[in-house]
Amino acid sequence: MRDLEKYKGIIPAFYACYDEEGEVSPERIQMLATHYLEVGVKGLYVGGSSGECIYQTVNERKIVLENVMKAVGGKMTIIAHIAAPSTRDSLELAKHAENLGVDALAAIPPIYFVLPEDAIENYWTSMVEATDLDFIIYNIPQTTGYALSVTLLNKMLAHEQVIGVKNSSMPVLDINTFKLESNKELIIFNGPDEQFLGGRSMGADAGIGGTYGVMPQAYLTLDRYIRHSQMREALDLQNDINKIIFKMVSCQGNLYDVMKYILSLDGLKIGQARLPLPRMVETDFAIAKEAHEMIQKLLTKLN
């Protein structure tokens, strides 16, 4: 039986860290990873959507993971997202991640071409077979165009290494369905941060999220309320979190660019989001500052 306890908690999706020229910055990666270790989150999810993996070369993705591991490896749970457009590159990243000693691999389905389900199964299975690591399916239909079926989930769960799903589809019912219809005990990570409470209430064991990185303490508290069945407090806090997310996404610039700017206001400089992700426009800066103030107020209230 694999140890699933090490995944049960708050796992921020790690942001891409660039220098002022837009190059992957080893120093900034180590600085940001160390920051999250000090905040006390359970682990990090490296190289996913928030890590801008889609816009990075295989070599850059390796540098990112190497520096995360250098800073916090062995001190927190590390999940490496290793899906790349080709199976070939994904396998290279999988083996590299295993050599670095990460805890688990995660992968989206193949992107761009709409492929039949058996091609998706083959893609994931090659990654599972490439290493001995735990493997997490990443279900995010709104960006990949493929919604995980219970049939494929159960085929994948037949592999001992496949331990669960990071579920970013919007229906909370999907989480519940995967829990009830799966043929073995599995771990489910809530994806949409706006419904962390909903996902956890309907069976998610943990969370991996894109906005945890700008307010990890808020999600740590929310997770604690849920574990202690303080549902009234949990809903109030989820609402406070959502007002901040709604504020951030009201910017024209991409959410990742906005969150990087917000982190920079706290001295955590990790550059800008990579194009073609839209950068912040002039009017966004005041909105992002407001979001930053809302975060500070919330954290003060929680302390």
Ligand X SMILES: CC(=O)N[C@H](C=O)[C@@H](O)[C@H](O)[C@H](O)CO
Q: Which stretch binds ligand CC(=O)C(=O)O (CB under 6 A): 44-52, 156-164, 176-184, 268-276?
A: 44-52
Q: How far is CA 251 from CA 255, 277, 278, 287, 295, in A?
A: 8, 13, 10, 7, 16
CB of 266 to ligand X, least distance (A): 19
Q: Does residue 166 carry a catalytic annotation?
A: yes
Compute the least distance from the CB of residue 85 to ligand CC(=O)C(=O)O, in Å: 16
Q: Of 42-50, 58-66, 97-105, 196-204, which part binds ligand CC(=O)C(=O)O (CB under 6 A)?
A: 42-50
Cα separation, 151 vs 100, whole angstroms: 33
Please count the residues of this chain forming the interface with ligand CC(=O)C(=O)O, following the rule CB under 6 A: 9
Q: Which of residues 49 and 131 has its CB atom nearest to ligand CC(=O)C(=O)O in the complex?
A: 49
Helices (H), 158-283: 172-181, 196-201, 216-227, 231-249, 255-264
- Annotated active-site residue 138? The verdict is yes
Question: Quick one: which of 279, 276, 280, 254 has its CA closest to 55?
Answer: 276
Distance CA 129, CA 17 (A): 30
**Closest Cα to residue 12, out of 69, 65, 51?**
51
Catalytic residue among 15, 18, 36, 138: 138
Q: Find out whether 54 is annotated in a ligand binding site.
A: no
Q: Say how far residue 135 (Cα) sits from the centre of its chain.
A: 14
Contact 131, 104 (CB under 8 A): no
Q: Which is nearer to ligand CC(=O)C(=O)O, 48 or 199 (CB)?
A: 48
Angle among Cα 23, 16, 244 to the nearest 5 degrees reads: 135
Shortest separation between residue 185's beta carbon and ligand CC(=O)C(=O)O, angstroms: 23
Q: Which residues bind ligand X (CB under 6 A)?
A: 49, 140, 142-143, 168, 191-194, 209-211, 245
Amino acid in position 82: I
Q: Which helix (H) or strand (E) holds 29?
A: helix 26-39
CB of 101 to ligand X, least distance (A): 25
Q: Can residue 48 be called a binding residue for ligand CC(=O)C(=O)O (CB under 6 A)? A: yes
Task: Name the active-site residue from 42, 62, 166, 179.
Answer: 166
Contact call for residue 77 and ligand CC(=O)C(=O)O (CB under 6 A) = no
Judge contact between 143 and 49, C-beta under 8 A. yes
Distances (CA, A) of 56 to 113, 178, 256, 267: 19, 31, 15, 25
CB of 108 to ligand CC(=O)C(=O)O, least distance (A): 8
In the bound state, the residue with its beta carbon closest to ligand CC(=O)C(=O)O is: 48
> 194 vs 233, which CB is nearer to ligand CC(=O)C(=O)O?
194
* Residue 9 contact among ligand X, ligand CC(=O)C(=O)O, none, beta carbon within 5 to 8 Å by kind: none
Q: Which is nearer to ligand X, 48 or 110 (CB)?
A: 48
CA atoms within 13 A on the CB side of 216: 21
Which sequence positions are flagged as catalytic? 138, 166
Interface with ligand CC(=O)C(=O)O (CB under 6 A)? 13, 45, 48-51, 208-210
